[in-house]
Amino acid sequence: MGVAAVFDSRDPTSFSSGIHDSTTGVGVDVVLNSLAGEAAATSLKLLKPFGRFVEIGKRDAYEGGSMSLAPFLRGLTYSTAHIDVLMLEQPVAARALLETVAAALPSLPHLPATVYPMADLNEALSYMGSGKHIGKVLIRTSAVDASDTLPAACGAPNDPLFRSLLPVLRRGCNANDTEQAARHSGGMLCDGGRCVVLRDASGLEDAELERQLRGAAVVITRCPLVATWATTLGAELALELRGGWGPLSSRVLREAMRHRGSGHVVASEPAESEMAEVSGAASWLPALVADVAGVPSVDLHASFDDYGLDSLLLINLAQRISTKLGRRLAVSSIQQHDNVANLLEALAPSLSTPPVNQKQLRVLCLHGFRASADLMRIQMAPLLGAIPEVLAKRCTFVFVDAQRPSTGPAMEGIPPEIPTFEWWGEPGPYDETWKRGFDGFGAALHDLMADGPYDGIIGFSQGGAVASLIPARWVMLFSTITPPTPAELEAVGAPKLDMLYQQRSFHTFDEEEEYAALCKDMVSRFNETTTVLHTEGHAVPKTDATLSQARMFLEERLAEG
């Protein structure tokens, strides 16, 4: 194939030294990169002066990753190969390029390929995830027989979880009628209503999810969003399972049926085999991850990115963990819990079956320095307006003005005739006076807490600092500065604050903004954080990439209740 040397991309140190030796220390002219994290940064350093770095994978770019500018002092060029953008922005050039490639295809040698039948899809994914193949891995579909299948939302009559429901849900129904209904109507009759079994909402648009859930009397799911939606659409029982996905014990079924009519109920009872595997996961999971990564051992707290686990390797890892547990583990779960320690914690089963009834949620929204509740509503509109109606109906967003009018000019761009307020500050210019002047803030904090409790709090800038001091289950902090010190709070009579920074937290800010150091300080204070970087300065971001991640965090918190 004309390749002078081959190196293992999973070990940045190894391929760096190998390429360095192969080129006698000179480096290469071009890097076509599909790696992420440390491996991408290592590849950049391998370029000779005036070399070109072409980003193909774009994973770091999509996730808002950062890269040192130091290597570019050697006159390097960085660009992304993004066919979508080329077709949208320069359609004539894109067409000419693709026509050139199409015309040359008949004379080009065929790429090596390994072909699997559709029945061996799992084996094909494992082979591809191993990183040992050259060329393409293809799936042959022509031999697949077309046959009628049940809708995704229906539990088939031979599904073990579905069958475990039959004895309890048949009340008043003929057993044959019940099973016939399951086969032909995509559901099961239970006291005249339909039972829908839907693990999660993956890949379903809002309209399709509503279609599948509408009219269901009982919904069984692992997804809190599905359970919330089902309850809103009138389901008598939305049973959210946490832990195993298999036959339900009579204990869980009795508990669930006892709460029929209560709406959203949570039950957690892993299968015995899963309990045994999960309880011993600490002994086998690190070794399994090390094997997939191709390294002798792994640091429990090092991210999967650090070991070069790209999307294909994560698929392989998810399959092997699923085989070990005896149930499916989604790749998204591994990405969400991005190291071995977090994944072990996520796999740990809960043995309780607490009923959790739906309630109206309250979310406090706090504006920044010399702004107002009305301005905060405008800033939050792109985020809050995108929340599905099923969640928005059960949530009250409480916007409040700070306790005192602004003692100086507001942020640039806010007309002087608009009333603005501040949580603390001194008379004078906008840029400096927010650091002092805490008189009256203690009383304001008392008032905010007295109006609680709150399920969550959203704050921007100075409002985010206030949000971090108020008890809630979670906080979303946009370009948040640090709050007054404990001594400063005590001096103004603020309430005694216990268990600070224990909430689930979401942080977003611009690394180049003036207050980035304070934003990073706030991230470091919380134990459980999600951090998203943007490039829009000291502001609530408006780009789709950032808002989609903020919306995901918010929807998950609201769905949890």
Write out the DSSP string of 366-405. E--TTB-HHHHHHHHHHHHTTS-HHHHTTEEEEEE--SEE
Phi, psi (deg, nearest 5) at residue 13? -65, -40
Total number of domains constituting the chain = 4
Judgement on whether residues 342 and 431 belong to the same structural domain of the protein: no
Q: List the beta bridge partners of residue 505.
A: 475, 529
Outline where 214-358 has alpha helix (H). Answer: 224-232, 250-258, 272-279, 281-293, 311-325, 331-336, 340-347
d(CA 505, CA 456): 10
Residue 355 lies in a domain: no
Residue 150 lies in a domain: no
Rounded to the nearest 5 degrees, what angle is found at the Cα of 155, between the Cα atoms of 220 and 184? 130
Judgement on whether residues 400 and 515 belong to the same structural domain of the protein: yes
Residue 155 lies in a domain: no
Find out whether 268 and 351 touch, Cβ atoms under 8 Å.
Answer: yes
Residue 451: how many other CB atoms lie within 10 Å: 13
Judgement on whether residues 296 and 366 belong to the same structural domain of the protein: no
pLDDT of residue 169: 46
State which residues form the domain around 20.
12-106
Find out whether 400 and 448 touch, Cβ atoms under 8 Å.
Answer: yes
Judgement on whether residues 369 and 487 belong to the same structural domain of the protein: yes
Contacts of 496-503 spanning 24+ positions with Cβ under 8 A = 497/469, 499/471, 500/468, 500/469, 500/525, 501/468, 501/525, 501/526, 501/527, 502/526, 502/527, 503/472, 503/473, 503/474, 503/475, 503/528
The residue out of 237, 267, 297 marking a domain boundary is 267
Closest CA to 441 of 375, 387, 489: 489
d(CA 231, CA 357): 10
Outline where 27-159 has alpha helix (H). Answer: 38-45, 59-62, 83-89, 91-104, 121-129
d(CA 3, CA 162): 54
pLDDT of residue 273: 44
H or E element in which residue 457 lies: strand 456-460
Judgement on whether residues 89 and 21 belong to the same structural domain of the protein: yes
165 class by beta-carbon count within 10 Å (0-12 exposed, 13-18 middle, 19+ buried):
buried
Tell how strand 193-197 and strand 188-190 pair up: antiparallel
- Which residues are within 8 A (CB) of 457 and not within 5 positions of it... i.e. 6 or more apart? 363, 364, 365, 366, 467, 470, 472, 474, 475, 476
Residue 167 lies in a domain: yes
pLDDT of residue 331: 74
Judgement on whether residues 422 and 455 belong to the same structural domain of the protein: yes
d(CA 373, CA 377): 6
Residue 226 lies in a domain: yes
Residue 120 lies in a domain: no
d(CA 51, CA 75): 7
Query: Tokens at residue 405, please?
Result: 């009018």
Closest CA to 266 of 291, 284, 239: 239
Tell how strand 136-140 and strand 113-117 pair up: parallel
Judgement on whether residues 470 and 492 belong to the same structural domain of the protein: yes
Find out whether 484 and 438 touch, Cβ atoms under 8 Å.
Answer: yes
Judgement on whether residues 380 and 283 belong to the same structural domain of the protein: no
- DSSP helix/strand/coil, 359: coil
pLDDT of residue 274: 44
Judgement on whether residues 393 and 335 belong to the same structural domain of the protein: no
- DSSP helix/strand/coil, 506: strand
Tens of pLDDT along the chain (561 residues) come to 567 788 877 778 888 889 988 888 899 999 998 888 888 889 999 999 999 999 988 877 777 778 888 889 999 999 988 888 888 788 888 888 999 999 998 888 888 889 988 777 777 877 877 767 778 889 887 544 443 333 333 333 444 444 555 554 444 333 333 333 333 333 333 444 577 777 777 667 777 888 888 888 778 877 777 777 787 788 877 877 765 555 555 555 655 666 666 666 666 544 444 444 445 677 788 888 988 888 888 888 888 888 888 777 887 788 788 777 766 677 777 877 888 888 887 776 432 333 344 567 899 999 999 899 988 988 888 888 878 776 777 788 999 999 889 888 877 777 777 889 999 988 877 677 777 888 889 889 988 988 888 999 999 999 999 999 999 999 999 999 999 988 888 888 888 777 678 889 999 999 999 899 999 999 999 988 899 999 999 988 888 778 888 888 888 888 776
Judgement on whether residues 299 and 244 belong to the same structural domain of the protein: no
Cα–Cα distance list, 246 to 243, 268, 271 (Å): 10, 11, 7
Residue 310 lies in a domain: yes
The residue out of 294, 317, 347 marking a domain boundary is 347
Strand order in the sheet with 47-55: 28-33, 47-55, 77-80
- Which residues are within 8 A (CB) of 487 and not within 5 positions of it... i.e. 6 or more apart? none
CATH number for position 63: 3.40.50.720
d(CA 135, CA 452): 60
Judgement on whether residues 435 and 288 belong to the same structural domain of the protein: no
Judgement on whether residues 462 and 528 belong to the same structural domain of the protein: yes
